[in-house]
Amino acid sequence: MNFEEHTAKSLILGPAGIPVPRGALVATATDAKNAATDIGPCVVKAQVPTGKRGKAGGIRKADTAADAEIVAQAILGMSIDGFVVEKVLIEERADIAREFYAAVLTDFVAGRPLVLFSTEGGMDIEEVAARRPDAVRRRRVEIDEGFGDSEARAMLAGLDLGDVEKAIAAVLRSLYTIYRERDAELIEINPLALLGDGRIVALDCKFTLDDSAVFRQTDLAGAGAREKLTALERRGAENGLKFIELDGNVGVLANGAGLTMTTMDVISHFGGRPANFLEIGGEAYTKAEIALGLVLSGARVKSLVINFCGAFARTDVMAEGVVKAWEKLKPQVPVFFSIHGTGEDAAVKLVRERLGIEPFDFMEDAVKAAVEAAR
Amino acid sequence: MIIFRKQHRVLVQGITGKQGTFWTEKMIDCGTNVVAGVNPKRAGDLHVGVPVFASAGQAMANVPCDVAVMFIPPSMAKDAAIDAIEAGVKVLVCLTEHIPAQDVMAMHLAARRKGARIIGPNTAGLVTPGEGFVGIMPGHNPNVFRPGSIGVISRSGSLGTLVALNLTRAGIGQSAFIGIGGDPMIGTTTRDALQALDEDERTSAVVVGGEIGGAMEEQAAEYAAGMRKPVIAFIAGRASPPGKKMGHAGAIVTDNAGSYTSKRTALEEAGVIVVETPCEIPDAVSDRLIDLAETHGPVGDAARAHG
């Protein structure tokens, strides 16, 4: 779950004692003007959960309140990377002397938290790492050992940070504490600025919460950014189903991510195009009824493959959900089944008796028939 | 140990829950030696004929176990795993999906320190046809699994089931199924499983059910390059749009790393046969075994079944 800049600053950095510029979140140009009257020379920043704001013109300076109003007017309503800007952050202009980069994230390959620091802040860190690998300091941490002052100082050694090293070390330690206490997948400050008056301030912040840890970060659960979902995908998410709309016309309902991707591959192999990704594996296997409703709501769906290969997911329970949904929705699209694995005898019997449909023995044959029917 | 054997004594954590009960009965029916279960509130009970203890530590003090299998919700998975690891269980089959990443890191660290192996998280388990199974696979279903000489590795339980089913329908049995799990941080990789099957004398060839995302198939290819046993692979996700997370946390493609093309190229360069659809797997397996038999003499029943 991603968080917008203003939420990350107010809910995550603020409480951890990491300084951020004075700012106000507004939704109209008039409010932007009023905020800028109070704040003075400022930066108007689009609040959308994507890293492409600057290049898209979503972050602009304003010298006066009147400027802020004009700039906010231009930014509000913009579409950046598929997100429409509904709010802007009016933030006091910082007198920047130097820009750094600091982050803590999960290194999935090493299976450890990774602390990153660079003296080349304000740029895309991947570009910096590619261009000047020595400019990025990395330190992997054992999850039970922690990251204290000596570890932070060791990371910064030789970077010639002078008086500001102590403050930066403190920020790194705070970031690690945030990472651990808030179940971050990523907490990133870019740039971390040294101001003309010697203060260290976080000018931007990116926070990604581990989706699997939302249950124990309940105060953050409702504060996450909007996701780029279609109306149907949102309905799926609200029902705990991973549903992705695609541009094809053969609907797919399968259990398990591996089998669902395989079904899509086989559709494509036989010259068809999948209309969606939707898997009801794991605990979701009981949600076949809702799932089928979602697949059939796609306007382009011309035929449907239902491919069950039950391991944990019981095919009898899934088939019952499908049959119920089918009897309720009475769809006109042709459907082709392949059912194997846990509970298959009862599942096949159900489909045969209640829908009068004979499942195919091989999924490839079910897919071929569905691709043919969609033409 | 990566291949399950009938002499392995199994501890079931969360044995009294709905899924724990259902699958423990299936495992026992299949010949699995389930010797103990855990539920802190039901210690002293006998559940589906299995003695229940308050913790893995308590269980191990009374009944030694070789393998623990976890039917435990995500919020409690870390504590259960560490309980089993600290108690001295050497192989932990972690079925749980959606465990917080930092808990998974703590589990792997505990396992590393105690010399234990974690299979998963988010694995469907291990099956050895004719011997037994641990996990949530239809190991008890003779239409899906039958004894033979083909090793099967899969991240996904559903795709693994399909692979075994296709082999069985073609008259080709399996020496072992190894579900490695769909999570991004897993304790046993495709390469580890491939090595175990390469070293297993009952295995004549290996089928890998891979998925886009991560670098596991590429790493396995490095090992496969030095193998004499044939390796056949199917990689799921060719038709998945880039940049979207397809259910398994592991299955996300960013740029070229972990893409279908990258995996297929690495595997083919290592001499692995990559098939287009799962129904092509049985023929690919028997063709390769026949080729090998012609060069080196007979190996296993798959060649005979199709030879």
Work out the pLDDT band at B99, boundaries 50, 70, 90. Answer: very high
Average pLDDT over residues B27-37: 97
What is the 3-state secondary structure of chain B? CCCCCCCCEEEEECCCCHHHHHHHHHHHHCCCEEEEEECCCCCCCEECCEEEECCHHHHHHHCCCCEEEECCCHHHHHHHHHHHHHCCCCEEEECCCCCCHHHHHHHHHHHHHHCCEEECCCCCEEEECCCEEEECCCCCCCCCCCEEEEEEEECCHHHHHHHHHHHHHCCCCEEEEEECCCCCCCCCCHHHHHHHHHHCCCCCEEEEEEECCCCHHHHHHHHHCCCCCCEEEEEECCCCCCCCCCCCCCCCCECCECCHHHHHHHHHHCCCEECCCHHHHHHHHHHHHHHHHHHHCCCHHHHHHHC
Arithmetic mean of pLDDT, B176-204:
97
b or e along B209-229 (b: 16 or more beta carbons within 10 Å of the residue's beta carbon)? bbbbbbbbbbbbbebbeebeb
Segment A186-211 mean pLDDT = 96
Better pLDDT: A341 or A73 = A73
Give me the mean pLDDT over the A116-123 stretch.
93
Q: What is the pLDDT of residues A222-232, one digit of tens each?
A: 999 888 888 88
DSSP code of residue A265: H
- Please give the mean pLDDT across all residues of chain A: 93
What ipTM goes with this model?
0.92
pLDDT band at B304 (very low <50, low <70, confident <90, very high): very low
Contact A114, A104 (CB under 8 A): yes
Which chain A residue has its CA at the smallest distance from B246's CA?
Answer: A257
Establish if A130 touches chain B: CB-CB under 8 angstroms.
no
Integer angstrom CA distances of residue A191 from A120, A133, A154, A201, B267: 9, 18, 21, 9, 41
CA distances (Å), origin B260, targets A129, B109, B128: 26, 31, 29
The pTM assigned to this predicted structure is 0.93
Q: Is A214 on the interface with B (CB under 8 A)?
A: no
What are A77-89's pLDDT values in tens digits? 999 988 999 999 9
Q: Looking at the complex, does the CB of residue B99 fall below 8 Å from at least one CB of chain A?
A: yes
Closest approach of A55 to chain B, Cα-based (Å): 20
Whole-Å CA distances, B80 to A105, A345, B107, B258: 25, 35, 9, 32
A144/B106 touch (CB, cutoff 8 Å), yes or no: yes
A309 and B159 within 8 Å at the Cβ level: the answer is yes
* Contacts of A134 by beta carbon, 8 Å cutoff, 6+ apart: none
From A18's Cα to the closest Cα of chain B, the distance in A is 23
Confidence band, pLDDT 50/70/90 cuts, at residue B256? low
CA atoms within a 13 Å half-sphere pointing along the CA-CB vector of B306: 23
State whether B278 and A313 contact (CB < 8 Å).
Answer: no
**A240 to chain B: closest CA residue:** B247
Task: Write out pLDDT tens, residues A303-331.
Answer: 999 999 988 888 999 999 999 989 988 89
Q: Provide the shortest C-alpha distance from residue B226 to chain A (in Å).
A: 24
